[in-house]
Amino acid sequence: MDTFRDFKRYADQVAETARWAARKGWAPATSTNYSVRLPDEAAPAICAITMSGIDKEQLNPDSVLAVDDQGHPVNGERLRPSAETLLHLMLYRRRNIGAVLHTHSVAGALLSRLAEMEGYVSLSGWELLKGLEGIDRHDCEVRLPIFQNSQNMAQLAAHIAPRLPDTETCYGFLLAGHGLYVWGKTLPDATRHLEVFEYLLQCERAVRHYD
């Protein structure tokens, strides 16, 4: 990106996060996508996001591109951004979101189907809830919303945006039969929230299996 000298630093961070998630087993095949908000000086670029159709375990900074508020590449014109870029941009229109991460773990996919009729997965009583920003006790309830999946990203983003809880402790949602989206004020916050939610989804899956 000619107009933003520090872009490589952000691309490195996104690529390393993608490889980390793949090592965790949360990115099968060429699935999942990861992004970080860019500073104002990068305008018209809004965020750096992984490209479409690449094995995340092998992803390098050359496979991360900058996109504007319509999801069009600002650099790497021959690269195709993630098919779900519009969901990332929808989230960046909310306040205090600095990174968005999307995974396809087995636990997330299964629970999103099992609890689809309820419309959310309820997480309560787990000590690791305290890993979410703003939560300092285990005896609380965090509801992870579930939305029906769609291949029309513009319609899906428009459907989800007004239905996300407007609370400081809402850091994620599930797409039914698809996977988990999480975010945070910074990339380290988002990666921590991702690890917390993935752990808790595994716990919930095990509990429900034995009930």
User: Please, is 105 exposed, middle or buried when counting C-beta atoms within 10 Å of its C-beta (0-12, 13-18, 19+)?
Assistant: buried
Dist. CA 107–CA 102, nearest whole Å:
14
Locate tokens 């975010």: which residue? Answer: 183
pLDDT at 44 > cutoff 80: yes
Banded model confidence at residue 2, pLDDT cuts 50, 70, 90: low
Dist. CA 128–CA 99, nearest whole Å:
21
Residues 6+ apart with CB under 8 A from 49: 14, 33, 34, 35, 64, 65, 66, 67, 81, 82, 85, 88
Locate tokens 């996919």: which residue? Answer: 109
Paired tokens of 52? 């479409």
Give domain 7-210's CATH architecture: 3-Layer(aba) Sandwich (3.40)
pLDDT at 1 > cutoff 80: no
pTM of the predicted protein model: 0.95
Dist. CA 96–CA 88, nearest whole Å:
13
Average pLDDT over residues 74-102: 90
Contact at 8 Å (CB) between 27 and 59?
no
Per residue in 119-177, pLDDT (tens digit) is: 999 999 999 999 999 999 999 899 999 999 999 999 999 999 999 988 767 899 999 99
